[in-house]
Amino acid sequence: MTDTRSQPGPDDEVIVELVPMVRKIVASRIRDPEVVDDLVQETLARVMAARSRVQGDTLEPYAAVTARNLVASLARGNDRARAKTHLLADLEPSESPAEDLLRQEESSLLAQALDRLPTEERDLLLAHEVHDQDTRSLAEHRDSTPGAVAAQLSRVRAKLRVEYLLIQEQVEPPTDRCRPVLRAISAGDRRRQRELDAGAHLLGCDCCSTISAALLDRRASAPRDDDVRVPISRDADVVTARQRGREAAARLGFSSTELTLIATAISEIARNIVRFADHGDMVIRTVQDDRGRPGVTIVARDVGPGIPQLREALQDGYSTYDGLGLGLPGARRLMDQFDVVTELGKGTTVTMTTWARRTGADQPTTGPGRDTGSRDTGTRADQPPTRRSRGDDT
C-alpha cells in the first residue's frame, strides 16, 4: 500500500469540533454512557450525511436539533415499552421437569462429544476434570512436564467444545479443513488461525460460520487484547461490531471523541455488509506503530456481489440506498488509513486503521500526521485486482 500524508480538510475539522457539544446535549438528558455514545454517533452520522445540504454556519444548530430529536425519540420509545411491560410479564414459575430434561440433554451431548475424542485424550481429560488429578501427577505418569500436560489439556478442551457444538447443531463438517479451523478458533490459537487462513474459510463455509459464532460468543465474555471477530449478517450485528470496536479502542486510551468516530466508521461499513452482501465478518485488532503509538485496525470482509464502480463509491455523496448515505466515503474520512479490495461476484474487503492522538481533554490532534491512505481495486471480476493510492484520484 502507498500511503499519502495530507492535512484534513476544514469540513472534517468542523465535524470533529461538533462532537463535544453534541455529547454535552445528550449526556445532560441520558445517564447510560453506552446510550450516550450511540446517540452521539447517530447524530454525527446524520450531520455528515446532511452537510452537503447545510451551510457551514448552520451546521452546529442542525447538530444540536438532531441530537435533541434523537433523545426525544428514544424517550417516546421507552415510554411505550414501559406501558406494555405488564403484557410481557411471565408470572408462572419455571418448571423443574423442563430443567431436568435440559440437563439430561446436555449430559447426553457431552457424552457423545467425549466419545469422539481419541482414547488417550479422553482419559487425560477425565482424569483431570472428574478424578481431580493435578497436572503434576498426570505428568509423572506420562513422563512429561506439568506445563506440557496443561497445554495438552487446553487443546483437548478445544476439541471437545467443537465436537459438542457439532453434535448440538446436528451438522457434519463438509471439508477436511473445517475441524482444524474450528479447533484453532476454540483454542484462541491466532498463529494457527493465520496459517489456516481461518477468516477466509469462515466466509465460505456456512457450517463453520455457525459453529464459530458460538465459539466466539464463549470467548467474548472476558475482555482481551486479542483479535475480536464479529460475524455480520443482520442489523443487530452492526451494534455488536461498533461496541466491540469501541471497547478495544477505549482500552488503548482513545478519547471519547475518537471512540465516537471509530464507532461511526465501523457502523457504516457493517451496514454495507448487511445491506449488500450475503454475509461477512469484522476483525477488530489492536496494533502499534514503530513509534509505540497505539491504534485499532478493523478488517471487514464479505461474501457478496463486490463493488462494480469503486471509484464512484469512494466519492462523497455517493449512495446506493436510502439510508444515512455515508458508507465508504464517510468511513474513509473518519479513519487514518483506509484500503478497499473488491472483486465482482466474490466480495469486498475493507481495511481501516486509526491511531490515538490525544493531546488534551477529549480533543484529537488535527493537522499534519493524520494518514489518509487508500487502496482501491479494479472493478472487473475477470482481472486480478489492481491497487492505487488515494492520490491517484486526482
For residue 1, the model assigns a pLDDT of 34
Q: What is the mean pLDDT of residues 247-268?
A: 90
Burial of 34 (0-12, 13-18, 19+ CB in 10 A): exposed
Identify which has the larger pLDDT, 334 or 6. 334
In percent, the amount of the chain with pLDDT more than 90 equals: 18
Residue 217, pLDDT > 70, answer no
CATH code of residue 289:
3.30.565.10
For residue 86, the model assigns a pLDDT of 47
For residue 154, the model assigns a pLDDT of 87
Question: What is the domain count for the chain?
Answer: 3
Least confident stretch, 12-26, 74-88, 201-215: 74-88
Identify which has the larger pLDDT, 200 or 15. 200
User: Is the domain of 126 the same as that of 265?
Assistant: no
* Domain-embedded: residue 87: no
Residue 69, pLDDT > 80, answer yes
Q: 127, 147, 170: which is the final residue of a domain?
A: 170
For residue 160, the model assigns a pLDDT of 92
Q: What is the mean pLDDT of residues 264-275?
A: 90
Question: pLDDT band for position 220 (50/70/90)?
Answer: very low
Determine the 3-state secondary structure of 74 from DSSP. helix
Q: What is the mean pLDDT of residues 54-83?
A: 75
Identify which has the larger pLDDT, 319 or 307. 307
Determine the 3-state secondary structure of 39 from DSSP. helix
Residue 73, pLDDT > 90, answer no
For residue 84, the model assigns a pLDDT of 55
Q: 222, 237, 259: which is the final residue of a domain?
A: 222
In percent, the amount of the chain with pLDDT more than 70 equals: 73
For residue 325, the model assigns a pLDDT of 43
CATH code of residue 117:
1.10.10.10
User: Is the domain of 248 the same as that of 364?
Assistant: yes
User: Is the domain of 317 the same as that of 261?
Assistant: yes
* Domain-embedded: residue 377: yes
For residue 120, the model assigns a pLDDT of 92
Give the rounded distance of the alpha carbon of 235 from its chain centre: 13
The span from the first CA to the last CA of the chain, in angstroms, equals 17
Rounded CA separation 205/218 (Å): 20
Residue 181, pLDDT > 60, answer yes
Rounded CA separation 107/13 (Å): 59
Residue 282, pLDDT > 60, answer yes
- Where are the alpha helices (H) located in the chain, listed in sequence order? 10-27, 33-50, 59-83, 85-88, 96-115, 119-129, 135-141, 146-169, 178-187, 190-196, 198-204, 206-219, 235-251, 256-276, 310-313, 327-334
User: Is the domain of 161 the same as that of 291?
Assistant: no
Least confident stretch, 19-28, 56-65, 194-203, 352-361: 352-361
Q: What is the mean pLDDT of residues 178-195?
A: 87
User: Is the domain of 269 the same as that of 330?
Assistant: yes
* Domain-embedded: residue 333: yes
User: Is the domain of 384 the same as that of 243?
Assistant: yes
Identify which has the larger pLDDT, 23 or 57. 23
User: Is the domain of 123 the same as that of 210?
Assistant: no
Least confident stretch, 45-54, 56-65, 190-199, 344-353: 45-54
Rounded CA separation 13/17 (Å): 6
In single-letter form, the type of residue at position 154 comes to: S
For residue 185, the model assigns a pLDDT of 86
User: Is the domain of 185 the same as that of 292?
Assistant: no
* Domain-embedded: residue 127: yes
Residue 316, pLDDT > 90, answer no
For residue 3, the model assigns a pLDDT of 36
Question: What b/e sequence results for 123-159 when a residue is b if at least 16 CB atoms lie within 10 Å of its CB, and e otherwise?
Answer: ebbebbeeeebebeebbeeeeeeeeebeebbeebbbb
User: Is the domain of 176 the same as that of 296?
Assistant: no
In single-letter form, the type of residue at position 232 comes to: I
Give the tens place of pLDDT for each residue, 74-86: 877 766 666 655 4
| Enclosing domain of residue 150 | 109-170
For residue 76, the model assigns a pLDDT of 76
User: Is the domain of 33 the same as that of 162?
Assistant: no
Identify which has the larger pLDDT, 388 or 260. 260
